[in-house]
Amino acid sequence: MSRHGFTAMYEYPLYVSSCPGAHVIYDTISRQFCHVVIAVFLPRLNSCVYKKLIINPICTRACYDEGKRCAETLFFDYHRQHNLDIKVVRIFNTYGPRMHPNDGRVVSNFIVQALRGEDITIYGDGQQSRSFCYVDDMIDGFVRMMNSERGLTGPVNMGNPVEFTMLELAENILRIVAGKSKLTFKPLPADDPRQRQPDISQARSKLNWEPKVSLEDGLKETILYFKRLLKNGDVRSVNTRSVL
Ligand code: UDP
């Protein structure tokens, strides 16, 4: 089972927290080498770049969100105390080939459902928005960050600022797949953000980075990947546990 996404978050909360793993990394690296460059990739950090900061440390997904915040704090403490060279990138909604088909994320769910002709599960009214970054763009950003001057610690936001609602995403996927799936509406998960859009001004100015792959092109590649998985029988069912 994937350790990412909703399934893992609710079934294995302690594993999902980034803190224990992060601790091992800092401890090992800072004792043995003082000047190793490490990167913390913090998927889907739930705050800081938004005008309105919403933090709920006791909700069901808090193990995930707080784990990332705490990992970031520890990285900066190790940086100050041990002169450890760090690079911190905050990743926003990234998708592409090699996604886990069962991790419950929206892009993988919708594509698998559309390819199988199953109903597309929209949580809430589908008007919530996300900004989807294709994996190649994200990797290019990481490489630029790792090659940046030593003093640039971040955090630097990386993601695609172009927003889509979940309804628009579903329509795009159905059009590309030429699918006939119907939309079905399910309850919105607790604390599901209404909007998630990165402010990438730092990545633009300091790393000369911005995403280049359109949602259309990225979805086409991702759909090809999932078609292959389905053909090989590598997908059982998608994870649509929306009420948690
Ligand atoms: N979502 C949805 N149907 C699904 C899976 C997700 O409508 O089958 C919604 C989810 O409620 C959220 C959005 O899609 O509003 C993005 O979900 P995801 O888990 O991919 O990313 P995150 O919420 O962490 O940004």
- Tens-digit pLDDT profile for residues 155-172: 999 999 999 999 999 999
Question: What pLDDT is recorded for position 65?
Answer: 78
- Residue 113 Cα: closest atom of ligand 1: 8
122 Cβ inside 6 Å of ligand 1: yes
What does pLDDT average to over the chain? 81
Indicate which residue of 64, 78, 95, 134 is catalytic. Answer: 64
Distance in Å from the first CA to the final CA of the chain: 18
What is the 3-class SS of 77-129, one letter each residue? HHHHHHCCCEEEEEECCEECCCCCCCCCCHHHHHHHHHHHCCCEEEECCCCCE
Distance 131 CA to ligand 1 centre (A): 11
- Residue identifier of the C-alpha nearest atom 16 of ligand 1: 106
Distance 239 CA to ligand 1 centre (A): 11
DSSP for 119-179, please give it. PEEEETTS--EEE-EEHHHHHHHHHHHHTS-TT----EEES---EEEHHHHHHHHHHHHT-
Comparison of pLDDT for 237 and 230, the residue scoring more: 230
What tokens does 41 get? 């990739």
Distance 74 CA to ligand 1 centre (A): 29
- Residue identifier of the C-alpha nearest atom 6 of ligand 1: 106
- Residue identifier of the C-alpha nearest atom 3 of ligand 1: 122
* pLDDT tens-place string over residues 112-135: 999 999 999 999 999 999 999 999
Q: Nearest-5° angle of CA 115, CA 139, CA 175?
A: 25
Distance 117 CA to ligand 1 centre (A): 19
Tell me whether the omega of the peptide bond preceding residue 97 falls within 30 degrees of 0, making it cis.
no
Question: What pLDDT is recorded for position 63?
Answer: 80
Question: What pLDDT is recorded for position 24?
Answer: 59
- Determine whether 26 is an active site residue: no
For 39, the 3-state DSSP assignment is strand
Mutate to test the pocket of ligand 1, among 64, 166, 167 (most ligand atoms within 8 A of CB): 166
- Residue identifier of the C-alpha nearest atom 18 of ligand 1: 105
Residue 58 pLDDT > 60? yes
